[in-house]
Every structure is written in structure tokens, then in C-alpha cells.
Amino acid sequence: MYVCLCQGVTDRQIREAASNGCNSMRQLGKDMGVGRQCGRCARTAREILRESQTPDYLNLANLLAQPA
């Protein structure tokens, strides 16, 4: 889905940027322009970035903590 309409940036692109080492909104804005125009995407983009940076062991722990 599109996260930043002003720059045409999708959630997939943000996740890909995170996996390539992008670790801040400042960097995301610099590299892709996310949040630099109207700013409406900033909150969602930040959440996706944060979620993408969650260590794998934490994802596994959350998965194991869910009832079957």
C-alpha cells in the first residue's frame, strides 16, 4: 500500500529501506522524501520503520506467546 502519496512510496519500499540499513525517519526522508512534503505519512512510516527493525527473536517470542 502507498504510505507516502506525495512521493509515491509504499510500505514495501520502506521495509526494504529498513533491511538495507535505514534506521531513522530523517534517513528515510533524505533517501526517499518520505514525510518531507505534507507530513501526513510520517506517523505510519515511523511505525513501519520501527516494526521492520524489531529483532527476529522478539517476533519469534511474540509468535510463541500467542495462544494456539
Interaction mask 19-58, ligand FES, x per CB under 6 A? ---------------xxxxxxxx-----------------
Residue labelled with grid coordinates 517470542: 61
Closer residue to ligand FES (CB): 24 or 62: 24
4 in helix, strand or coil?
strand
CA dist 37 and 67 (Å) reads 43
- Given a contact cutoff of 8 angstroms between Cβ atoms, the answer to whether 33 and 4 are in contact is yes
Smallest distance, ligand FES to C-beta of residue 1, A: 12
Q: In the complex, which residues of this chain contact ligand FES (CB under 6 A)?
A: 4-7, 34-41
